[in-house]
Amino acid sequence: MVSSSKRLWIWIAWLIIWPVSLFMIYQHTDIQEIKWLDLSAFTTLAIVVALFPIMVNQIPVFFLNGITLVIYLNFGLFIELIITTLSITIVLLQVRVTRKDIFRIPLNYVMFLVMSVSAAGVYHLFELPGSEKTLGTPLHIIAILAYSLTLFLLNHVLITLTRRFIYGKRDKIFERSFFWEFMTTFYILPAALLLHLLYHEIGAIAVLFIGFSIASTSYILRLYYGSRSMNERLRMVSEIGHELTAQLNVKETLDLFMERIVELVPVDQALLFDVREGDALKLIRLYDPKNHSPYKQGIRINKGEGIGYTFCANGAGVRYGKRKQWQHNWKVTAPAYSESLMCLPIQRENQMIGMLVLLSDQRNAYEKYQYTLVHLLADFMAVSLLNAVNYEQTKKFSERCALTGLYNYRYFEKELHKLFEYRDTSEPVSLIMIDLDHFKQVNDTYGHEAGNDVLRQVADRLSLVSPEESVLARYGGEEFSIILPGCISDEAAAIASEVQQCMTERIFITQHYLRDQSIVTLAVTASIGVASYPENSEDHLELVRHADRAMYVGAKQRGRNRVAIYNQIEQSPENIPS
């Protein structure tokens, strides 16, 4: 967003430079010699060409330079400036400059003033003493080429400087607009020279013959560029669709979708909502580099608030080019500076599962074909999201214990093997094995449902004391295990003590399922063994064996309800050979 101080200085510069320069140039113009009917024909041609600009990276590219060249050669700099100003105004009106961007009008006036005066100065450099600068002479052709090249280069330089120092955008030097400007400038040059020569032969009727060709070519190129742009974006959507369908993670799918959306269409804010129970919306992804959005990620929005279901309740999206067309439907503070809006539902199996809102600070930023592309990409995302959800659920069922929700033995074994296969061999790893004491008595006395209650409560307590980077698993039956990457024996022993404390500090609550369903309180303890690598193990298999040995020999055989460290039981007197 351009600051108010920059906008003010642009207006001041225009008020000082523009009238003074125009008056000085007018002093050197002989209005009496102007053929007004001929000038009207050229003016009409310039206006027609200005009606068909090609928007490349939000920069208008058109055939105006060729027309103004002929006007300059035949009517002088002052008339050329007036017609250029008129044509630029028409182009800016098509872009529909907003009130806060109206400074672009005087900015463009000053830019084209600098370009026209500079090009005219370069052209007059070829008026050497004694030289003949008549139509068709080599010197005249060189002067015209120099004029056109000056316009082209200055236009590109001024646009680059404006975007960098006024808009704060660091574009590449050779953007797509550079090549399109170059192509249109020198493509139209032969036609402009032909128009110039023919005008001197047959008069203003030449504008009809050559001008029709120039105007129709301008329109055809605009259609071609639009078709080419759409084909490129269709290819992008296809590639993005393949990227999305390859994702099997919900978070990565959503992140990738948001990244690609802001690459596909001009976006200043992008909001992705998830439909929750009770028709509430939850903002799950937010793209807002300028911090203009009134919302923060994670916020819940009730039905009827924001842009919400006002537009998407019927399953159809909307596209607006002006703020006043949609602002009244936004029930809370509308995002600052936003003009264009694209809002569409994300559906799966004919049910709305989400909503995407795209906002741009520019008016009429979204064309109909862009809405179609975004809708297509949203459909890709919905399918990919379903695949990712199904995959994660399947993965969860295959890796998790259905009773406790902890990882199962298969996952434990895979992670432990992976930890040793893809790690620095000098990095320590510890393992805690936990076995509930006299657990069979709980099942026999109160029923297996009571035992299941105890196992679930044990899992909850272990989850609270296990470090975030650890792997907590139900090893089997009433046995649990905790893999501790990066932990040495002493650190693992401290964690094991916390595990023992969490088991004994509170009683367990269940029911007497074999009798009267009455509430039963139980004191459940555990025998715990700890082993570490590389202190007392050489590989992952030995680590498991030694932790298991510590649990049985060091804890269970010595009275249960205790923690045993493998290297301590190996060094104890009863384990030293006589």
Per-residue pLDDT tens for 414-455?
999 988 887 667 789 999 999 999 999 999 999 999 999 999
Residue 306 has a pLDDT of 67
- 484 and 563 in a single domain? The answer is yes
CB-based burial, 301-337: b 16+ in 10 Å, e otherwise: beeeebbbbbbbeeeebbbbbebeebeebbeeebbeb
- 511 and 430 in a single domain? The answer is yes
The span from the CA of 273 to the CA of 409, in Å, is 37
> Which residues, in sequence order, are bridge partners of residue 281?
275, 301
Q: Is residue 252 part of a domain?
A: no
Residue 576 has a pLDDT of 39
Q: Is residue 213 part of a domain?
A: no
Per the CB < 8 A criterion, the answer to whether 460 and 506 are in contact is no
Q: How far is CA 72 from the centre of its chain?
A: 46
Residue matched to tokens 């026209």 = 116
The span from the CA of 338 to the CA of 327, in Å, is 9
Q: Which of 100, 81, 501 is nearest to 338 (CA)?
A: 100
Q: Which phi and psi (to 5°) does residue 316 adopt?
A: -115, 145
Q: For CA atoms 284, 258, 367, 243, give the dihedral sign.
A: negative
Residue 353 has a pLDDT of 81
Domain holding 464, by residue range, is 409-575
- 431 and 360 in a single domain? The answer is no
- Give the rounded percent of residues in the chain with a pLDDT score beyond 70: 89
Q: Is residue 226 part of a domain?
A: no
The span from the CA of 522 to the CA of 541, in Å, is 35
The span from the CA of 239 to the CA of 236, in Å, is 5
Q: Is residue 562 part of a domain?
A: yes
CATH number at residue 107: 1.10.1760
Q: Is residue 383 part of a domain?
A: no
Nearest 5 degrees, angle CA 369-CA 370-CA 372?
65
The span from the CA of 248 to the CA of 386, in Å, is 9
Amino acid at 289: P
The span from the CA of 487 to the CA of 500, in Å, is 18
The total domain count for the chain is 3
- 304 and 414 in a single domain? The answer is no
Q: Which of 37, 122, 32, 110 is nearest to 72 (CA)?
A: 122
Write down which residue in 330, 365, 400 finishes a domain. Answer: 365
CATH number at residue 480: 3.30.70.270
- 436 and 514 in a single domain? The answer is yes
* Structure-block tokens of residue 337: 């500076």
The span from the CA of 159 to the CA of 179, in Å, is 14
Write down which residue in 365, 396, 419 finishes a domain. Answer: 365
Q: Is 128 left (phi over 0), alpha (psi -120 to 50) or beta?
A: beta
Q: Is residue 232 part of a domain?
A: no
Residue 392 has a pLDDT of 72
- 324 and 443 in a single domain? The answer is no
Q: What is the 3-state secondary structure (H, E, C) of 147-189?
A: HHHHHHHHHHHHHHHHHHHCCCCCCCCCCHHHHHHHHHHHHHH
DSSP line for 92-127? HHHHT--GGGTTHHHHHHHHHHHHHHHHHHHHHTT-
- 478 and 553 in a single domain? The answer is yes
Q: Which residues of the chain have pLDDT under 50?
A: 130-132, 573-574, 576-578
Per the CB < 8 A criterion, the answer to whether 285 and 272 are in contact is yes
User: Hey, how many other C-beta atoms are within 10 angstroms of the C-beta on 206?
Assistant: 21
- 323 and 189 in a single domain? The answer is no
- 117 and 197 in a single domain? The answer is yes
Tell me the average pLDDT of the chain: 84
Q: What is the pLDDT of residues 390-418, one digit of tens each?
A: 777 777 778 889 899 999 999 999 999 98
Residue 577 has a pLDDT of 38
- 463 and 562 in a single domain? The answer is yes
Q: What is the pLDDT of residues 215-254, one digit of tens each?
A: 887 777 777 777 777 777 788 888 888 888 777 778 888 8
Residue 304 has a pLDDT of 63
The span from the CA of 104 to the CA of 484, in Å, is 62
Q: Is residue 45 part of a domain?
A: yes
Q: Which helix (H) or strand (E) holds 483?
A: strand 479-485
- 540 and 424 in a single domain? The answer is yes
Q: Is residue 549 part of a domain?
A: yes
CATH number at residue 324: 3.30.450.40
The span from the CA of 194 to the CA of 517, in Å, is 102
CB-based burial, 499-519: b 16+ in 10 Å, e otherwise: bbebbeeeebebbebeeeeee
Residue 36 has a pLDDT of 86
Write down which residue in 203, 236, 256 finishes a domain. Answer: 203
Q: Which of 215, 184, 252, 262 is nearest to 42 (CA)?
A: 215
* Structure-block tokens of residue 359: 């906002």
The span from the CA of 454 to the CA of 461, in Å, is 11
- 341 and 418 in a single domain? The answer is no
CA distances from 242 to 234, 236, 261 (A): 12, 10, 14
